[in-house]
Structure 1
Amino acid sequence: MSTSYKVKFWGIRTNTRSDGTGKKPRVVSHTVRWTVGERERSSTFKTKGLAESFLSDLRQAARSGEAFDLESGLPASMVKAKDARTWYAFAVAYVHAWWPHAAAKTREGMTDTLANVTPVLTKDLPGRPADETIRRALREFSFLPEDRRPEPSPEIARAVRWLEAASLPLSALEEAKHTRAALEALALLLDGTAAATSTYRRKRAVFHHVLEYAVELEELSANPLHRVKLRKPKSTGEIDRRSVVNPAQARELLTAVTYVGRSRGPMLAAMFACMYFGGLRPAEAAGLRAKDCHLPTSGWGLLTLERTKPQSNKRFTDSGETHDDRGLKHRGRKVVREVPIPPELVATLRDHIDRFGAGPDGRLFRTRTGGLISGSAYAKVWKEARTYAFTPDQAASPLAARPYDLRHAAVSLWLNAGVHAPEAAERAGHGVDVMLKVYARCIDGQREVANQRILDALAA
């Protein structure tokens, strides 16, 4: 950018237009004139107040010693402000930059967070679409790579045009009021009720990363989140011990699963057993293949986990299907994890393979047509099985409310059985710090044992 400090200002020129013979000319605009170097510049405004304000800004920049750009005639600070991206444009660019490096669930969380924040970082321009329409425009169009965007409906196209015009500049986040407004949007659900602390913290982490990226690109001087405090109850991340089943309850549940439907339950029983006896995540169990299983006729077996089938909306997956084909969570694509499994699970898997076989791709757990089982489908089976296995009071409690709670129960059982944390963490696919923070909990039914040990000690 070529600049000059040689600046000269002229008075504001009033522009008039005659409306007819004998009538006083009507003022139509006001022009600010100045020179930078040897080049004359001008800018015209509808009202005198706007012209005076603009001229005042120019004079102030000159008095403070700013260089003026020869091309635009503006001081450096104004050129920077003029060229600055809006929050909307930056958010779109951020998503497109990070999309190739993120898993489908990460992409979904990223776009969900930005769709919460973007509507509040706007100016009050006329024609604002409904918030629901704005969020749909962001999630289903703007925050998708260009080759994945559908043809927008007229409603979505209008919302995108409004966002492009109304979005605040990214630099507006230097003001605490805008950053606070964004955080408050993340702290609420769409119905206006407070979001869970874990949800807020997860979304805040995404927002923090976006702003750190802006700092890295030197579009923000510092991360404005560091100056804004929004108090939310601290979340320890620990599991609710009321959700953790003991071995007897787990076996009752696994048996009850086989009572659900003619084939749905029996085909899923071994999948749930993998979550309890092997501590597998649902996506790991969904991707389990026959070749991953070493199932001897007696003794312990071994699962060598390599692939997972995480579920997300198909617009976020690489495959364009609802389930992606990925490596293990938090590990490189070719890294495997070996999980020893007890004889009880070995027998269950051998029986499952004898009865249902494996699909064309080798997967053990699938629908009757060979497809992947959706999360909603196996959750429905689980919900029904709980009514068979539990008393009404237990069924109404958090006890094993979700299939994922079987994994919680498995890891809690290992730790309470005396398995060293590094070994338990390796089997579960966690870091030791996460293991000790989240899973070191007593399983259901152990309180009475602990109470008796205390009584015995007191009586000694």
Structure 2
Amino acid sequence: MRPDASCEESCSLSKLAIGKSSLLSADHVRALLDSIQEESSGVVFPFLAFMAGTALSPGEAVSVRVHELTLPEGEFGEVLVRAGEGRRVPVSPDIVGVLRRWIDEADLEFEDLLFPAERGGPLASSEYKRAWRRARQAVLSPGEVQAGLGEQVSSLRDSCLDRWLEAGVPAWGVAEWAGVSASWIALRYPHRFGLEDVEIDWGHLEEILRLPDIPER
């Protein structure tokens, strides 16, 4: 186990795997964030959008400071996560835009928390959880709500990690960005590791497995 691994690493294997039907789709995430942007003001929308695009846990996201971000306009940026051994996580151009606007609107300084509470200090979980509950009720179907889809804000993390895998990022790369091990990623998202989804170059495989010429006896 990696020394910087979160409690996710110690989950029992029987509880670790998450089925594809239990994950928020990209359309779900967009609709939820749209609802939150319309109904909530201030810090909540940029905070949840940041989580959705970087797969940070809520605890990691509330601790980020402005100087730990690199946000080039119109390009991929980066956030330095200092938890554990530390890691660098990409920030997509659309989230870069959200954060640049938020930093300007909130008049944040270099050393400030990226997502401060209204009266200073880290953002309280009660504030973003309340907005999340309202968005779920507004966006998801009654059946999806009853089934527990997106019940926790941390569902944004799972959805992002799954979409990275879907996009073709290697498991070890997703693990590095997420701060967990590659084995944890494979056990958590088994639907992304089916052999039927792998394109095998049989000719190359034959070449590298070929034995040296053996003289006839």
Give the TM-score category using the shorter length: 0.7 to 0.9
Q: Residue type matched to 1:392 in 2?
A: P
2:146 corresponds in structure 1 to 396
CA RMSD of aligned residues (A): 2.6
Alignment of 1:381 onto 2:160: no
Residue of structure 1 aligned with 2:64, choices 281, 288, 304: 288
Q: Residue type matched to 1:278 in 2?
A: T
Residues 66 and 110, structure 2, Cα contact 8 Å, conserved in 1: no
Residues 89 and 177, structure 2, Cα contact 8 Å, conserved in 1: yes
Alignment of 1:249 onto 2:28: yes
2:209 corresponds in structure 1 to none
SS at match of 1:369: coil
Partners of 2:128 and 2:191 lie apart in 1 by 26
Relative contact order (C-alpha < 8 Å, sep 6+): which is higher? Answer: 2
Deviation at 1:276, TM superposition (A): 1.5
**Cα gap change, 1:339/1:438 in structure 2, threshold over 3 Å: closer, same or farther?**
same
Partners of 1:338 and 1:361 lie apart in 2 by 18
Partners of 1:393 and 1:436 lie apart in 2 by 29
Partners of 1:236 and 1:397 lie apart in 2 by 17
Partners of 2:111 and 2:74 lie apart in 1 by 27
Equivalent pairs, count? 187
Deviation at 1:372, TM superposition (A): 2.0
Structure 2 portions without partners, runs of 5+: 1-5, 198-217
Cα deviation code 1:421-440 (max 9, x no counterpart) = 11111111111111111134
Give the TM-score of the pair, scaled to structure 2. 0.76
Partners of 1:278 and 1:409 lie apart in 2 by 10
SS at match of 1:346: helix
Partners of 1:398 and 1:252 lie apart in 2 by 17
SS at match of 2:79: strand
Alignment of 1:12-411 (within 5 A): 235-261=14-40, 263=41, 266-306=42-82, 328=83, 331=84, 335-358=85-108, 361-411=111-161
Give the TM-score of the pair, scaled to structure 1. 0.38
Q: Residue type matched to 2:48 in 1?
A: F
Cα deviation code 1:155-206 (max 9, x no counterpart) = xxxxxxxxxxxxxxxxxxxxxxxxxxxxxxxxxxxxxxxxxxx9xx97xx9x
SS at match of 2:155: helix
Deviation at 1:359, TM superposition (A): 6.7
SS at match of 2:80: strand
Q: Residue type matched to 1:340 in 2?
A: P
SS at match of 2:148: coil
Residues 304 and 339, structure 1, Cα contact 8 Å, conserved in 2: yes
1:438 corresponds in structure 2 to 188
